[in-house]
Amino acid sequence: MASVALTNLDPASRAAARGWSDLTIRNLFIIPTLVFLIVFNIFPLIYSLGYSFTNFAANRAEPWQFVGLQNYRELLSDDHIWSNFVITAKYVIVSVAGQMIVGFGLALLLNRSFPMKGLITTLLLLPMMMSAAVVGLFWQLLYSPSWGPINYVLGLGDFAWLSNPDSALYAVAITDIWMWSPFVMLLSLAGLSAVPQHLYEAAAIDRAGWWYTFTRITLPLVSPILLIALIFRTMEAFKTFDIAYTMTTQPTAELIAIRLYKQAFQQWDTGKSCALAYIVLIMVLAITNLYVKYLNKVKER
Amino acid sequence: MRKIVTSVIAGIGLALACGTSVRAQDKELTIFWAEWDPANYLQELVNDYTAETGVKVTVQTTPWPDFQTKAFTEFNAHGDAYDMVVGDSQWLGAGSTQGHYVDLTDFFNQHKLGDVMAPATIKYYAEYPGGSGKYWAIPLEGDAIGWSYRKDWFEDPKEKEAFKAKYGYDLAVPTTYAQLRDIAEFFHRPDQKRYGVAIYTDNSYDAMAMGVESAIFSYGGDLGDYATYKVDGITNSKQAAAGLDMYKELYKFTPPGWGKTFFVEDNQAITGGLAAMSMNFFAFFPPLVNKATNPYADVTGFFANPAGPDGKRFAALGGQGISVVSYSKNKDEAMKFLEWFIKDETQKKWAELGGYTCSQAVLKSDAFQKATPYNKAFYDTMFMVKDFWATPEYAEVLDQLNQNIYPFVVGGKGTAQEALDKTAADWKATFTKYNRYK
C-alpha cells in the first residue's frame, strides 16, 4: 500500500493549510470504512464461524460446548434442509431466468428512440425501488383468489396461488421477476448502448438478418455485462427472504434464508444456524466463482 | 474549533444530567406486549395507576409475528428495556429456567392468588414446571379458542328446512365437531361466494397449532405427557389422528386461498360476510360486536369449541400472564404495580375495559357474563382449556409440528397418522437432545 504513488496536495488547499499530508487525508477516508467493515462484517463473520462448531444457544444461560463438525453433519443429513436447498435452487433458476429474459427483452425494446422514452424507462424502474416487504404484501393482495385482479384478468376463478403447494413458489418467483427485471434491464441498456454503431452499419451493408446480427454482434458484446447482472441476481435470489416470508407460509416455498431465520431467531439454535449460514455462504461463493471464471473467459474472447 | 467542541460536550453533558435527574424523579415502568386491542385496554387501565401513584406506566407493543423474537432478543441480551412482559403461556419454561423471569412464588402465596384466579389460568399462565408450586407470572389476559357464527344464516327458516332434509337433524349451534363439519359443508357455496368455515392455517407461529390442538384435544388425543415428555403413542394416537383428520376436513370448506390465515383473516371472514362460522381467540371478538367494524354485528353469535365423538370437550388456551423481567432496574416498583393489578376493583375495571380478567370472582359475576354476547362462551371455555408444550425448547417443537401438519392440512400430502408419526419422532429426537429423558 505504501508503494502506491499519491498525488501531491495543492499547497493553496485548506487541507495543506491545516498541515495535513495526502497520506493523512487518505487515512481519514479509509480508516472509518475499515473500522466499520472489521467491526460489523469481519469480526461477526469469524465469531460466527467459531459458534458454528459449538452447541451455543443465545437464549440459554448454560455454558456452550465444542461439538466439532456435529452441526454440519446434522444439517447435511437433514431431509428438511435438503428440501429447503432444492426449493431455493428451483426458485433461483426460475426467478433469475425470468429476470434475464424479461429484463433483456425490455432493454432491447428500449434501445431505440421513441417519444417519452425517458419517462417510460423511469416508470419501468419503479418496482426495484420499492421495499421488498411492501412488494410482497401488495402481490399477496393481487394474488388473492377472492378479490385479486390477477385471477380476474386471467380468468382463473378461485385459483389459490399462494395456498396451493405446487404454485406458491412460482407465485413468489413471478413477484421477484416483476421486482428485479428492471435491474437487468438497466444493466443491459448500458451494455447495448455501448455496442459500436458501425458494427450494425457494416452488418446492414452485408445484408445480415436480424437474428444473425443479434447472435453475432449484440449478444457477444453485451454478454459480459449480462453475466454481471446474472451474478448479482443469482446471489440475491439465493438469499431471498423478505418477499417469500411476507407472501406465503407454504413449506413448498420455504427458502433456505427463511429456514435459517427460523433456526436462528425462533428456535434460538445459534450454533447450528451459524453452521447453516456458512453452508449457504460457501454455496453462494462456489456459484459466484464459477460465474466469475466464465465471465473472465467471455471477456478474453 | 475548540470552542465548538467544548460547547458540544457541555451540551451533551447537560442533556445527560437532565435526563438522569428527570428519570430519578419520575418513576417509569414499561410493559411489553403484542400489538392488539387488549394492549390498548391495558394502557387505559394503567393510566389509573399513574393517576393514583404518579408512576408512569407505558404499554409498549410489537406486531404478533415479531413478539416472541423481539422479547427473547431483549431477554438474551439481558436488556432492561422492559420491566414487565405479558408473555405467552408457552414462554414460561424458557422464561423461568433461563433466568429471564423473576420468581413470584412468594408473592403468589402471600396474596393467595391460587384462590383468586381461575384454576386453568394458574396452571398454564403462572406455574412452571407443572405441579411444582413455583410461579413466574400473574394471570393477566385469559384467552382461548372460540367460534363466531352468522345467526341470520342459522335461523333462516328455508336454510333450517334444507339442512334438516339433508342431514336429518335441526340446524343449530354445533355441539360436536361432526355437526360443525356438516354445517360447514352445508353453507359452503363457492358459486354464491359463501363459504362454510374459517379456521387458522398460518404456520409462521402458533396459529394453526392452536386450531389443530383444539380438535385433537376434543377427539381425546393429547400432544404428549408434559411431565415425562413421553410422545410415542400419545402424540400419534388414533384419537389425535382423528382430530387432525377433522381439521383437514374443515379446511375443505374454507374460503379460497385460506392457506396463511390467523386472527385478522378469520375476523374478516365474518365482517366480509364470507363464512358461516369462524374460529378465533376470544380476545379478537370485540370488533365483531361493533357495528363500525362489523356490518353483521347484530347477527353475529358466539359459541364455545364443540366436543369430539366421545363427548370430550376442550379448547386451545391462548392468553398470557404478566411477569417481571429479571434484568429490569425497577423490579420493586414492578412488584408494587402487580399488587395494585391483582386488587378486585382493578380486575373489575380490567374486565369492563374489555380485558379478559382471570379473576374467578369477576368471571363468575352475572355482570361479566352478560356484558357481551361472547362472555358466557368465554366463561364456559376457561374451564375446559389445554395448552401446548411450555418446555424451554417449545419453539423448536412448535416448528416441527408446523412442518409436519401444514403439508397435510393445506397441501393434502400424506395422512394424518403419517404427519403425527413424524411429529412424534421429531419431538422425541428433540427432547432426547435436551436430555429430557433422564
Quick one: B345 and B294 in the same domain?
A: no
Burial of residue B234, with CB atoms counted within 10 A of its CB: 0-12 exposed, 13-18 middle, 19 or more buried:
middle
Determine, yes or no, domain membership for A172: yes
* Residue B17 belongs to a domain: no
Do you find a cis peptide bond into B129, omega within 30 degrees of 0?
yes
How much is the pLDDT for B23? Answer: 44
Same domain membership, residue A127 and residue A20: no
Distance from the B124 Cα atom to the nearest Cα atom in chain A, whole angstroms: 21
Whether B106 is covered by a domain: the verdict is: yes
What residues have CB less than 8 Å from B275, skipping those under 6 apart?
B150, B187, B194, B195, B196, B197, B198, B254, B255, B269
Q: Are B158 and B307 in the same domain?
A: yes
Question: What is the C-alpha separation between B86 and B140, in angstroms, rounded?
Answer: 8
- What pLDDT is stored for residue B15 in this prediction? 47
Q: What is the CATH number of the domain that holds A216?
A: 1.10.3720.10
Q: Give the confidence band of A72 by pLDDT, cuts at 50, 70, 90.
A: very high
Q: What is the pLDDT of residue A157?
A: 83
Q: Residue A24 falls within a domain, yes or no?
A: yes
| B78 and B224 assigned to the same domain | no
**Stronger pLDDT, A126 or B77, i.e. the higher one:** A126
A266: chain B residues, CB-CB within 8 Å:
68-69, 395, 399
Written as nine digits, the cell of A190 is: 448500458
Please answer yes or no on whether B257 and A161 come within 8 Å at the CB atom. yes
Q: Verify that A21 and A74 share a domain, yes or no.
A: no
Report whether pLDDT(B96) > 80: yes
Q: Are residues A46 and A92 in the same domain?
A: no
How far apart CA B261 and CA B279 sit, in angstroms, is 11
Residue of A nearest to B395 (CA): A267
Cross-chain Cβ contact A165/B69 below 8 Å: no
Q: What is the pLDDT of residue A5?
A: 56
Judgement on whether residues B183 and B249 belong to the same structural domain of the protein: yes
CB contact under 8 A, A267 and B99: no
pLDDT class for A278, splitting at 50, 70, 90?
very high
CA distance A241 to chain B (A): 14
Q: Give the span between the Cα atoms of B183 and A285, in whole angstroms.
A: 56
Task: Decide if B296 contacts B367 (C-beta within 8 A).
Answer: no
Task: Calculate how close chain B gets to A34, using CA atoms only, in Å.
Answer: 25
- For residue range B142-154, what is the model confidence (pLDDT) as tens digits? 999 999 999 999 9
Q: Do B76 and A80 touch (CB under 8 A)?
A: no
Residues A47 and A182 in one domain: no
Question: CB distance A249–B94 less than 8 Å?
Answer: no
Asked whether residue A3 is assigned to any structural domain, the reply reads no
Q: Which residues of B touch A252 (CB under 8 A)?
A: 407, 411
Q: Which of A164, A251, A268 sits opposite B407 (nearest CB)?
A: A251
Give residue A16's pLDDT: 76
Tell me the C-alpha distance between B373 and B377, whole Å: 8
Of B99, B204, B255, the CB nearest to A249: B204
> What is residue A283's three-state secondary structure?
helix
Cell of A88: 431455493
- The CATH number given to whatever domain includes residue B90 is 3.40.190.10
> Are the C-beta atoms of B56 and B330 separated by less than 8 Å?
no
Is A77 in CB contact (< 8 Å) with chain B? no
pLDDT in tens, A222-262: 999 999 999 999 999 999 999 999 998 888 899 999 999 98
pLDDT confidence of B215, banded at 50, 70, 90? very high
* Contact of B132 with B304, CB cutoff 8 Å: no
Could you say which DSSP state residue A162 is in? T
- pLDDT tens-digit series, residues B126-184: 999 888 999 999 999 999 999 999 999 999 999 999 999 999 999 999 999 999 999 99
- How many domains would you assign to chain B? 2
| Test the A interface: residue of B192, B253, B396 with most A CBs within 10 Å | B396
**What burial class does residue B292 get, using C-beta atoms within 10 Å of its C-beta: 0-12 exposed, 13-18 middle, 19+ buried?**
exposed
Between CA A180 and CA A230 the distance in angstroms is: 11
pLDDT band at B20 (very low <50, low <70, confident <90, very high): very low
Cβ–Cβ gap A249/B395 under 8 Å: no
Tell me: do A25 and A120 sit in the same domain: no
A148 with A294, same domain: the answer is yes
The shortest CB-CB distance from B256 to any of A59, A160, A248 is to: A160
Which pLDDT does position A80 carry in this prediction? Answer: 87
Predicted confidence at residue A240, as pLDDT, reads 95
Which chain B residues touch A268 with a CB distance below 8 Å?
Answer: 72, 76, 395
Which structural domain, as residue segments, surrounds residue B131? 23-143+318-386
Chain B contact set for A168 (CB, 8 A)? 259
Does the pLDDT at position B415 exceed 70?
Answer: yes
The answer to the question of residue B75 being in a domain is yes
How far is residue A265's CA from residue B70's CA, in Å, rounded to a whole number? 9
The answer to whether residue A222 sits within a structural domain is yes
What average pLDDT does chain A have? 90
Angle at A190 between CA A187 and CA A194, to 5 degrees: 140
Q: Looking at the structure, do residues A144 and A260 belong to the same domain, yes or no?
A: yes
**Domain identity same for B187 and B42:** no
Q: Which chain B residue's Cα is nearest to A63?
A: B98
Domain membership of residue B354 (yes or no) is yes
Is residue A301 predicted with pLDDT exceeding 80? no
Distance CA B68, CA B50 (A): 28
Please indicate whether, in this complex, the C-beta atoms of A265 and B69 are within 8 angstroms of each other.
yes
Residue A9 in this model has a pLDDT that exceeds 80: no
pLDDT, tens only, B33-64:
999 889 999 999 999 999 999 999 999 999 88
State the nearest Cα–Cα gap between A10 and chain B, in angstroms.
23
Torsion sign (Cα): B349, B352, B354, B357: positive
The Cα-based distances of B95 to A101, B85, B155, B320, B326 in angstroms read 52, 10, 48, 13, 10
**CA pair distance A107, B74, nearest whole angstrom:** 48
In a domain, A267, yes or no: yes
Flag whether pLDDT at B19 surpasses 70.
Answer: no
**pLDDT confidence bin for B24, thresholds 50/70/90:** very low
Residues B294 and B204 in one domain: yes
The arithmetic mean of pLDDT across residues A19-45, rounded, is 90
Is residue B117 domain-shared with residue B180, that is, in the same domain?
no
Q: Is the domain of B155 the same as that of B174? A: yes
Cell triple for B208: 394453526
Nearest to B111 by CA among B365, B341, B383: B341
Assigned domain for B3 exists: no
Percent of chain B residues topping a pLDDT of 90: 71
Least confident range from A16-25, B187-196, B357-366, B369-378: namely A16-25
Chain A to chain B Cβ contacts (< 8 Å) = 83
Do A129 and A32 reside in the same domain of the chain?
A: no
Q: Is residue A5 domain-resident?
A: no
Q: Which residue among A60, A143, A262 places its CB closest to the CB of B399?
A: A262
What value does the mean pLDDT of chain B take? Answer: 90
Name every chain B residue with its beta carbon within 8 A of the beta carbon of A146.
193, 255-257, 274
> Smallest CA–CA separation between B166 and chain A, in Å?
26
Q: CA of B345, closest CA in chain A: separation in Å?
A: 38
Which of the four pLDDT bands, split at 50, 70 and 90, describes residue B14?
very low
pLDDT digits (tens, 9 = 90+) for B271-296: 999 999 999 999 899 899 999 999 99
Domain span holding position A19? 14-51
Mutant choice from B268, B403, B405, B427 vs A, greatest count of A C-beta within 10 A: B403
Tell me which residue of A190, A173, A7, A4 sits closest to A99, measured CA to CA: A173
ipTM, two decimals, is 0.70
Using CB atoms, which residue from A163, A265, A268 is nearest to B410? Answer: A163
Taking the Cβ of residue A265 and every Cβ of chain B, the question of whether any pair is shorter than 8 Å is answered with yes
If DSSP states are collapsed to H, E and C, what string results for chain B? Answer: CHHHHHHHHHHHHHHHHHHHHHHHHCCEEEEEEECCHHHHHHHHHHHHHHHHHCCEEEEEEECHHHHHHHHHHHHHCCCCCCCEEEEEHHHHHHHHHCCCECCCHHHHHHCCHHHHECHHHHHHHCECCCCCCCECCEEEECCEEEEEEEHHHHHCHHHHHHHHHHHCCCCCCCCEHHHHHHHHHHHCEHHHCEEEEECCCCCCCCHHHHHHHHHHHHCCCCCCCCCCCCCCCCCCCHHHHHHHHHHHHHHCCCCCCCCCCCHHHHHHHHHCCCEEEEEEEHHHCHHHHCCCCCCCHHHEEEEECCECCCCCCCEEECCEEEEEECCCCCHHHHHHHHHHHCCHHHHHHHHHHCCCCCEHHHHHCHHHHCCCCCHHHHHHHCCCEECCCCCCCHHHHHHHHHHHHHHHHCCCCCCHHHHHHHHHHHHHHHHHHCCCCC
pLDDT for residue B13 is more than 60: no
- Does residue A2 sit within a domain? no
Kindly determine whether residue A268 and residue B395, on different chains, have CB atoms separated by under 8 Å. Answer: yes
What is the least distance, in Å, from the CA of B290 to any CA of chain A?
24
> How many structural domains does chain A have?
2
Q: What is the mean pLDDT of residues B363-392?
A: 90
Do residues B158 and B275 both lie within one domain? yes
The answer to whether residue A106 is domain-embedded is yes
Q: What is the pLDDT of residues B403-413, one digit of tens each?
A: 899 999 998 99
Does A14 or B42 have the greater pLDDT score? B42
Measured from the Cβ of residue B98, the count of other Cβ atoms closer than 10 Å reads 20
Is B50 a member of any domain? Answer: yes
Q: What residues in chain B have their Cβ under 8 A from chain A's Cβ atoms?
A: 68-69, 72-73, 75-76, 94, 98-99, 190, 193, 201-204, 255-260, 274, 392-393, 395-396, 399, 403, 406-407, 410-413
With an 8 Å Cβ cutoff, is A163 touching chain B? yes
Q: Tell whether A267 lies on the interface with B, counting CB pairs under 8 A.
A: yes
Across the interface, whether the CB atoms of B395 and A267 are under 8 A apart is answered yes
Smallest CA–CA distance, residue A23 to chain B, in Å, is 23
If you average pLDDT over residues B423-427, what whole number do you get?
A: 96
Residues A167 and A221 in one domain: yes
Closest by Cβ to B72, choosing from A59, A145, A248: A59
Does the beta-carbon distance from A59 to B399 stay under 8 Å? Answer: no
Chain B residues in contact with A160 by the CB 8 A cut-off are 256-259
B137 lies in the same domain as B225: no
pLDDT of residue A8: 67
In this predicted structure, the answer to whether residue B253 has a pLDDT above a threshold of 50 is yes
